[in-house]
Structure 1
Amino acid sequence: MADKTASKYLINLEKQFAAADPVLQKTARLFQELDQIEFDMGLIDSEESTARKTTWWPVISTLGGYSPAKSDFLARYLNSPLHTVRHKFTVLQYTPQAAGATLPGTALDADHRLPFYRIGQAMEQVLPGEGGKLNGHLELVTVNSPKLKGKLVIDTPVLSNTTENAVTAMLRKYVLDISDLVLVFTDLFEADAELNKAALTEIVAQQDSNKFVFVIDHSEIGLDPAKSQDIANAWQRRLAELGIHTGQFVVLSQNSDGAALDQRIANLASDRSYRVLATLQDSIRAIDDVILPEVEASLTTWKERCNATTLIVLGFIIMLALFAEIAVGILELIFDPIIGPAIAIALIALLTPMHLIVSRVHAKFIVKQLHKRQKQLNLTEDLAALFEKSQSFWRMLLPITDPVGKNKKNRKKLAGLIEQSKDLVQALNDQFSHTQQEYRHDLDAYAFEER
């Protein structure tokens, strides 16, 4: 097997976290090992990386309704006026330049370092024609605010009858999936029930992730702590009726100091690390749990169709032989010690290339089905490429349905990657319970064991 060159993306990640975050630096190396396994199986090409399945930036996203609460909060938090539109997904990124800039959605789709990389393909799958309308759904806004350093904010559009469709719902789900902190402004729940149904479903589905903070905006008035708690309790009961039972509640008022939100935002880097490690583990497990079973099932179907077609042709040849026996009598030739084996060899010589041709024809139909299945499963790995790589000459002739790469060697490698990722999660946990010196010692010990 050829060694896969580490993608520039992973190389840059390793450099970026070399001093700032040793856990993520080592995580990048594990992604590189996973890339090699998937490359050998044909699941990714030489320039791709499984590390791109999630963003490595700490991400805050916002959900809100028609009131200006969400935009007013962002302007206050960033201490900068924002010129964003209400119907687009807006990525806010730090810039050292005094004047910010608004860039089109294509800037996000083309940059593998940012969220929404290649999102146009996913949009096209959801709704044909929408993949070419990136700029109508997305924008990148740079802001000169120190609070954006080292993180991204994704401001989601307000719910609207005129803009809400399958693509918008898909993009909102994508944003919630990659976010480390989601600020849900309670005016969201004042919107039309049909409009906020999809957003509510996603919040309920992901509520155990501990990423949601429900923001109750009363910034126009002053509230004492007791009154703020009463308001939070009332909203807690209301959201419980909607199926939301977890999440932090924050009441904004003229005299609130925002300490609770500041603390959550201060923990973003750690939240990001846990998310990236979770993505790594999910990607490793997906090979055995999803990818190999899907391709193996397709190989089994393909074999059954090929064998059935070959048997039909063989049956036709046998029928011709029976007719020939009735007409002129050829059984004597078949049992002849010289002519009989020659006939068998000729039959094999005829059936073998025919079986190979039949196999390639059936494979084309299976490949089309695998492309559709890959989209349905939302996989970045190329299932069809693994299927095609599993069609060597002998695999076509012999009853082999295991895909290339399904072997003890790879199982051992994948199990090793899972264990190493668990060690990194433990090292991450130790940041909160050990001194910095002890934490460094644990990482050094992990690095020694890795070698």
Structure 2
Amino acid sequence: MQKRIQRLEQHLRRENPVLADSVASFKKLDRISRKLGLMDANRSFAEQVSWWPVISVLGTFSAGKSTFLNQYTGRDLQRTGNQAVDDKFTVICYGTGETTTLPGLALDTDPRFPFYQISRAIETVAEGEGRRVDSYLQLKTCEAEPLRGKIFIDSPGFDADQQRNSTLLIVDHIINLSDLVLVFFDARHPEPGAMGDTLEHLVSKTIERPDAAKFLFILNQIDLTAREDNPEEVVAAWQRALAQHKLTAGRFYRIYAREMAVPVEDEQVKQRFERKRDEDLGDIEDRIRQVEVERSYRVAGVLEKNARHIEDQLVPALTAARGRWRRRTIWLSTAVFGLLSALFLAWSLQAGHWDGFRFTPVAKLSTPYQLATLGTAAVLLWGLYMYLRALAGRSVLKKLPAQIPAGTDGEALARAFKHNLAAWWPSLARKQPRGWSWHTRRRLRGVLAEADTLVQSLNDRYARPSGDAPPAAGDAPPPRAP
């Protein structure tokens, strides 16, 4: 993992020095997380970031997604047709030479791309499918200038009613990591009410997200409605359907392919459609160009989000779990050792083994044997305490999922609690989790300060209220796709 992060840092140092500095902050956050037991040694927070802007294209079958990408790049990258023509998620990025198609393994094993180790996640929801990652993904490279510095993801046609769990997992993964999500609908199918589950997944579950502004909803192939008696009714039908799924505000784009438009006899209608198409296509392409700036800020946001998640949620939740473990250990130990003490006293008194406060069976032994006997008893009692301690810890761990606060990473919390269970020093007197100290807290605050500094550096690069001249173009080139 460290070698992969170093290669990423070296690559960013050449391409985008501002973001390269943030890699060091991610490495600091990794060390803090590992010290707390929240993360394995072979994982990194840097994996949660796609270091190049990601634009995903989702939508229903035959909604014109591939046609849009072909038009945007100026190349025939994706097959098009009225029926589903591709059942794979295709990652498209800039490359030199001829257009090349690579298997999904190229994405699953390279941390620079958005599907790094996606096979593991697929395996968790569909056993055996993780080995078939090539049947889900492919990578295409093309020497097309519009692709430079960006990564596009073209999805197969979406139908939530028929999608496998593994496919829905990939869709959710794409939505989470994307800087811009283009959601396409087909104007040729003006009965959106029949697509309830699809709209639920692509609309209802997205508009309540904190990053809902990154979704653009696009009604494509709108030129086919130009021959209708009332073409505006098609748009109105879609707007009503989306309103039923809580999308009542925001922009609804209407476009069609420039090179594949159907003939329209009415010149006024044709001009009106072309004017609206060019306006909306221009706005969409402007948003695509803007994602390079948004990506840089999103990296800073991911760094700050993870640092605050550790400090504000994971550590308090872990402290609370450790407190329950401590109390349960005390109760269990008190009950067991109290019972054993009572039984021992009852037996020894009945047998007459006490002479005042002297336990005669031990007092009669020589000093070495007395020490050996007491040492053996202490080891047995210590072993019993450790067993009771572990038993109490396992009972807390078993109930931990039901007690995790909303929004907390349950997997990381469970891993960290196991890290506390495995501590070589078994004392539970300390209330703070293992690895959490004033020094760790100070380092975490340092990472938060570095995230703020990164945002300020980006502001200096993109915003200049004073009117000073911007830095030379070569000082901070935009990121380029791998």
Q: Secondary structure at the match of 2:196?
A: coil
Question: Match of 2:429, as an amino acid?
Answer: P
- Partner Cα separation in structure 1 for residue 224 and residue 21 of structure 2: 48
Q: Deviations over 1:273-323 (max 9, x none)?
A: 121111111110121233323433443344344444433431332232243
Partner in structure 2 of residue 88 of structure 1: 88
Match of 1:388 among 409, 419, 428: 419
Q: Deviations over 1:393-448 (max 9, x none)?
A: 44x2442342122222222222222122123223323433318966659xx9xxxx
Tell me if 1:244 matches 2:243.
no
User: For the Cα contact (< 8 Å) 2:60–2:159, is it kept in 1?
Assistant: no
Tell me if 1:291 matches 2:314.
yes
User: For the Cα contact (< 8 Å) 2:318–2:417, is it kept in 1?
Assistant: yes
Partner in structure 1 of residue 170 of structure 2: 171
Shift in CA distance, 356/149, structure 1 to aligned 2, threshold 3 Å: same
TM-score when normalising by structure 2? 0.76
Match of 2:21 among 19, 26, 33: 26
User: For the Cα contact (< 8 Å) 1:387–1:403, is it kept in 2?
Assistant: no
Report the number of matched residues: 431
Deviating more after overlay: 203-212 vs 364-373: 364-373
Shift in CA distance, 405/439, structure 1 to aligned 2, threshold 3 Å: farther
User: For the Cα contact (< 8 Å) 1:88–1:156, is it kept in 2?
Assistant: yes
Partner in structure 2 of residue 13 of structure 1: 8
Match of 1:406 among 436, 458, 469: 436
Shift in CA distance, 130/302, structure 1 to aligned 2, threshold 3 Å: farther
Q: Secondary structure at the match of 2:462?
A: coil
Question: Match of 2:436, as an amino acid?
Answer: K
Q: Secondary structure at the match of 2:339?
A: helix
Shift in CA distance, 120/96, structure 1 to aligned 2, threshold 3 Å: same
Q: Secondary structure at the match of 1:177?
A: helix
Shift in CA distance, 205/242, structure 1 to aligned 2, threshold 3 Å: same
Partner in structure 1 of residue 216 of structure 2: 213
Shift in CA distance, 247/132, structure 1 to aligned 2, threshold 3 Å: farther
CA offset at residue 8 of structure 1?
2.8
Write the mapping of 1:13-412 to structure 2, written as runs, cut at 5 A: 13-18=8-13, 20-83=15-78, 85-101=85-101, 103-160=102-159, 163-187=162-186, 190=192, 192-206=195-209, 208-218=211-221, 220=223, 239-253=242-256, 254=258, 255=274, 256-257=277-278, 258-330=281-353, 332-334=355-357, 348-360=378-390, 363=393, 381=412, 383-384=414-415, 387-389=418-420, 391-394=422-425, 396-412=426-442
Shift in CA distance, 165/436, structure 1 to aligned 2, threshold 3 Å: farther
CA offset at residue 214 of structure 1?
2.1
Q: Secondary structure at the match of 2:76?
A: coil
Shift in CA distance, 436/371, structure 1 to aligned 2, threshold 3 Å: farther
- Partner Cα separation in structure 1 for residue 467 and residue 50 of structure 2: 26
- Partner Cα separation in structure 2 for residue 229 and residue 23 of structure 1: 47
- Partner Cα separation in structure 2 for residue 297 and residue 407 of structure 1: 16
User: For the Cα contact (< 8 Å) 2:461–2:471, is it kept in 1?
Assistant: no
Question: Match of 1:72, as an amino acid?
Answer: T
Q: Secondary structure at the match of 1:215?
A: strand
User: For the Cα contact (< 8 Å) 1:182–1:211, is it kept in 2?
Assistant: yes
Shift in CA distance, 357/325, structure 1 to aligned 2, threshold 3 Å: closer
Question: Match of 1:279, as an amino acid?
Answer: V
User: For the Cα contact (< 8 Å) 1:7–1:46, is it kept in 2?
Assistant: no
User: For the Cα contact (< 8 Å) 1:89–1:137, is it kept in 2?
Assistant: yes
Shift in CA distance, 414/229, structure 1 to aligned 2, threshold 3 Å: farther
CA offset at residue 163 of structure 1?
4.5
Could you tell me which runs of 5 or more consecutive residues in structure 2 were left unpaired when the two chains were aligned: 80-84, 259-273, 365-369, 476-482
Question: Match of 1:384, as an amino acid?
Answer: R
- Partner Cα separation in structure 2 for residue 237 and residue 161 of structure 1: 20
CA offset at residue 345 of structure 1?
7.5
TM-score when normalising by structure 1? 0.80
User: For the Cα contact (< 8 Å) 2:23–2:46, is it kept in 1?
Assistant: yes
- Partner Cα separation in structure 1 for residue 420 and residue 471 of structure 2: 43
Shift in CA distance, 323/288, structure 1 to aligned 2, threshold 3 Å: same
User: For the Cα contact (< 8 Å) 1:214–1:247, is it kept in 2?
Assistant: no
User: For the Cα contact (< 8 Å) 1:54–1:279, is it kept in 2?
Assistant: yes
Shift in CA distance, 89/428, structure 1 to aligned 2, threshold 3 Å: same
- Partner Cα separation in structure 2 for residue 229 and residue 10 of structure 1: 52
CA offset at residue 358 of structure 1?
3.7
Partner in structure 2 of residue 449 of structure 1: none
Partner in structure 1 of residue 266 of structure 2: none
- Partner Cα separation in structure 1 for residue 453 and residue 385 of structure 2: 50
CA offset at residue 151 of structure 1?
1.1
Shift in CA distance, 245/330, structure 1 to aligned 2, threshold 3 Å: farther
Q: Secondary structure at the match of 2:197?
A: coil
Partner in structure 2 of residue 427 of structure 1: 457
Deviating more after overlay: 274-283 vs 295-304: 295-304
Shift in CA distance, 28/246, structure 1 to aligned 2, threshold 3 Å: farther
Shift in CA distance, 398/302, structure 1 to aligned 2, threshold 3 Å: closer
Shift in CA distance, 289/229, structure 1 to aligned 2, threshold 3 Å: farther
Q: Secondary structure at the match of 1:320?
A: helix
User: For the Cα contact (< 8 Å) 1:55–1:115, is it kept in 2?
Assistant: yes
The Cα RMSD (Å) is 4.0
- Partner Cα separation in structure 1 for residue 295 and residue 391 of structure 2: 46
Q: Deviations over 1:172-219 (max 9, x none)?
A: 121111111111113398362123322223322237542122222246
Shift in CA distance, 161/277, structure 1 to aligned 2, threshold 3 Å: closer
Question: Taking CA–CA contacts closer than 8 Å with sequence separation of 6 or more, which of the two structures ends up with the larger relative contact order?
Answer: 2
Shift in CA distance, 70/304, structure 1 to aligned 2, threshold 3 Å: same
CA offset at residue 335 of structure 1?
5.9
- Partner Cα separation in structure 1 for residue 414 and residue 469 of structure 2: 44
- Partner Cα separation in structure 1 for residue 139 and residue 16 of structure 2: 27
Shift in CA distance, 428/276, structure 1 to aligned 2, threshold 3 Å: same
